[in-house]
Amino acid sequence: MIGLAQVYLVAGLCFAAFALLSARDAGNPRRWINAAFWGLLALSMLAGDRLGDFGNGLLVLALVGLAALGLGKGSGGSSAEERGEGAARHGNRLFLLALVIPLAALAGTLGFKHLPALVDPKQVTLVSLSLGVLLALAIGMVWLRPRALAPLEDGRRLMDAVGWAAILPQMLASLGAVFALAGVGEVVGGLMSGVIPEGSLLAAVIAYGLGMALFTMVMGNAFAAFPVMTAAIGLPLLIHQYHGDPAIVAAIGMLAGFCGTLMTPMAANFNVVPAALLDLKDRNAVVKAQVGTALPLLAINIALIWFLAFR
Amino acid sequence: MSQTMNLWALSGIAVMIAGFALRFNPLLVVAAAAGATGLAAGLDPVAIISAFGKAFNDTRYVSVVWIVLPVIALLERHGLQERARVLIEGMKGATFARLLTGYLLLRQLTAALGLTSIAGHAQTVRPLVAPMAEAAADPHDEATREEVRALAAATDNVGLFFGEDVFIAIGSILLMKGFMAQQGIELAPFELSVWAIPTALFAFAIHAFRLWRFERRRLRR
């Protein structure tokens, strides 16, 4: 059965190639740091299950140490003339190739559900994404006929542009696990429920919506905030004391949390990684572009709970 | 006694806020926050490193998305971004606001059907949406160009977040159902997802309005 093991094999080989190509990137003065960083990530993908928990922890510490030393910017890439000429020669067919990955993800997500013996039903999305990448690479190699290593060389340069931010989302997800172990959520929930004035439904609704957004901003993830804020305020006050509709309180409360996700660098894969991918100078440019949508939408979510849940 | 112990568990959050504010390397800040929280909770260093290592290994799927980079790189070498610009410049009615509003609608609708990973920052924003938005906007200085690109990424996020919860089998809906069931309240996924629709409509209206206003104020001279 195709599942996560095969996906991690593809990812591990890809990072291993980035590591080897970094090592021979003579234009990058810090190439050995880059090579070690991507190499350790390859090791994690290929052999993480055999390293043991403490071994994986040491691997993370090594990644953090390398990032603190500072990764270098990779060199290489194509010239503007080269790209302009390619655009003129290949025309709009380039878009068809660009759509292979999304279309493969779409077809796989819908189709593999009916083939549980072939593909692990829980991992259809990641498996489809990986197959889409391999398919697009194969078509691209045959059609565009680049030098054999060109996609990996250029991919390595893009990877270097993202740099340490590439593993920030995974690091934050892991931090969430340590926070859960230490009971951080219960403490925050306890503090929040202590500040609501007794007998005021409006104050409770506002505290629930704001609390979801604020705690999401701290944790970078509304999934971490939801159980905490719902246990502290949503259930005891909004649902049990004031008889609010639980489906509305839960559904719109979660969306209030999503407004928080738009406003925090802690949600790195949505807010920090794209800034690196798009070569933006300001690491927080995407967050700044989103605040104007997130704040009015948060106010509307709080109002929706107030008007809809207590009829 | 237990109350004071409890409050120390928040030291990790303080480390995060201070570390980000002082602009230390974020990976270093996250590791330090994990260490501070773990020590406050009475774990020894080996246990903290092991807990973090286990969590890191269990969440590797988060970093798999980078395998798309060789394909994006191959397409860019052969002129994908340039072609995206040519295509948009050739369309008379393709203004910045119309283009991104169209993408917002598409992203919300596909996410509402559960198709969350057919688009994204690596898959569609960098190779297609950002260069198209830039071509349509034709920004007159570098600061405006940065804002246009940041808005392209922001539009993807808004579309994804306020579309996906309309789908009944998405992670957050299942989390809500599971959590409420533990508390003795049985909810059907459909009951939850239908209440994501009002917010989805407001999200579209607010973000589309902001795109239109940005175009009027910043792009037309």
pLDDT tens digits, B16-65: 888 878 888 889 999 999 999 899 888 899 999 999 999 999 889 888 88
Residues on chain A touching B215 (C-beta within 8 angstroms): none
**Helix (H) or strand (E) segment spanning residue A200:** none
Give the pLDDT confidence of A159-168 residue by residue, as tens digits. 998 899 889 8
Q: Do A182 and B198 touch (CB under 8 A)?
A: no
**pLDDT of B88 above 90:** no
Of all residues in chain B, the one with the smallest CA distance to A268 is: B26
Mean pLDDT computed over A125-150: 91
Q: Do A289 and B150 touch (CB under 8 A)?
A: yes
- Rounded CA gap, A140 and B72, in Å? 11
Strand partners, A2: A119
**B60, A8 Cβ separation under 8 angstroms:** yes
Count of pairs with CB atoms under 8 A, one residue in A, one in B: 400
- Rounded CA gap, B28 and A67, in Å? 8
Mean pLDDT computed over A80-91: 86
**Reduced to 3 states, what is the DSSP secondary structure of residue A193?**
helix
In Å, how far is A200's CA from the nearest CA of chain B? Answer: 24
Q: Does A32 touch chain B (CB under 8 A)?
A: no
Q: Does A107 touch chain B (CB under 8 A)?
A: no
Q: Give the model's pLDDT for residue B169.
A: 67
Closest CA to B155 of B138, B133, B175: B133
Cβ within 8 Å of residue B149, ≥6 positions away? A278, A280, A285, B130, B133, B134
In Å, how far is B114's CA from the nearest CA of chain A? Answer: 9
Of all residues in chain B, the one with the smallest CA distance to A293 is: B207
Residue with tokens 């990955």: A101
Mean pLDDT computed over A138-161: 91
Q: Do A181 and B43 touch (CB under 8 A)?
A: yes
Six token digits for residue B179: 């959590």
Higher pLDDT, A113 or B215: B215
**Helix (H) or strand (E) segment spanning residue A124:** helix A124-144
Residues on chain B touching A251 (C-beta within 8 angstroms): 165, 176, 191-193, 195-196
- Polymer length of chain A: 311
When mean pLDDT is compared across A26-40, A82-96, A278-292, the lowest value belongs to: A82-96
Mean pLDDT of chain B: 88
Q: Do B13 and A218 touch (CB under 8 A)?
A: yes
pLDDT > 70: percent of chain A: 100
Mean pLDDT computed over A229-245: 91
Q: Do B180 and A83 touch (CB under 8 A)?
A: no
**B130, B149 Cβ separation under 8 angstroms:** yes
Nearest to A7 among B49, B64, B79 (CB): B64
Q: Which amino acid is at A221?
A: N
Give the pLDDT confidence of A243-288 residue by residue, as tens digits. 999 999 999 999 999 999 999 988 888 999 999 999 999 989 999 9
Nearest to A248 among B73, B117, B195 (CB): B195
Of all residues in chain B, the one with the smallest CA distance to A153 is: B70
Q: Give the model's pLDDT for residue A178.
A: 83
Q: Does A46 touch chain B (CB under 8 A)?
A: no
CA dihedral A78, A24, B60, A127 (to 10 degrees): 50
Q: Give the model's pLDDT for residue B2.
A: 46
In Å, how far is B28's CA from the nearest CA of chain A? Answer: 6
Q: How many CB atoms lie within 10 A of CB A261?
A: 24
In Å, how far is B4's CA from the nearest CA of chain A? Answer: 11
Q: Do B158 and A49 touch (CB under 8 A)?
A: no
Report domain extents, chain A.
4-168, 183-308
Give the pLDDT confidence of A297-310 residue by residue, as tens digits. 999 999 999 999 99
Q: Do B172 and A248 touch (CB under 8 A)?
A: no
Q: Does A2 touch chain B (CB under 8 A)?
A: no
Q: Do B203 and A235 touch (CB under 8 A)?
A: no
Q: Do A129 and B20 touch (CB under 8 A)?
A: no
Q: Do A64 and B6 touch (CB under 8 A)?
A: no
Q: Does A194 touch chain B (CB under 8 A)?
A: no
When mean pLDDT is compared across A115-129, A268-282, B140-154, the lowest value belongs to: A115-129
Closest CA to A211 of B19, A227, A201, A198: A227
DSSP readout, B134-153?
Answer: HHHH--SSHHHHHHHHHHHH
Burial class (CB in 10 A: 0-12, 13-18, 19+), B86: middle
Cα A195 from chain centroid (whole Å): 33
Q: What value of ipTM does the predicted structure carry?
A: 0.85
Q: Do A280 and B150 touch (CB under 8 A)?
A: yes
Residues on chain B touching A125 (C-beta within 8 angstroms): 117
Q: Do B73 and A154 touch (CB under 8 A)?
A: yes
Q: Do B41 and A281 touch (CB under 8 A)?
A: no
CA distances for B131 relative to A130, B76, B87, B149, angstroms: 25, 11, 10, 8
**A20, A159 Cβ separation under 8 angstroms:** no
- Rounded CA gap, A292 and B210, in Å? 8
Q: Give the model's pLDDT for residue A261.
A: 97
Q: Does A105 touch chain B (CB under 8 A)?
A: yes
pLDDT bracket for residue B221 (50, 70, 90): low
Closest CA to A259 of B103, B33, B199, B195: B199
In Å, how far is B65's CA from the nearest CA of chain A? Answer: 8
Residues on chain A touching B157 (C-beta within 8 angstroms): 261-262, 270-271, 286, 290
pLDDT bracket for residue A241 (50, 70, 90): very high
Name the phi and psi angles at B23, rounded to 5. 60, 40
**B48, B39 Cβ separation under 8 angstroms:** yes
Q: Do A140 and B6 touch (CB under 8 A)?
A: no
In Å, how far is B30's CA from the nearest CA of chain A? Answer: 7
pLDDT bracket for residue B1 (50, 70, 90): very low
Mean pLDDT computed over A39-65: 96
Q: State the angle between helix axes of B142-164 and B130-137 in degrees (0 to 180), rounded to the nearest 10.
A: 130
Q: Give the model's pLDDT for residue A311.
A: 83
Q: Which amino acid is at A184?
A: V
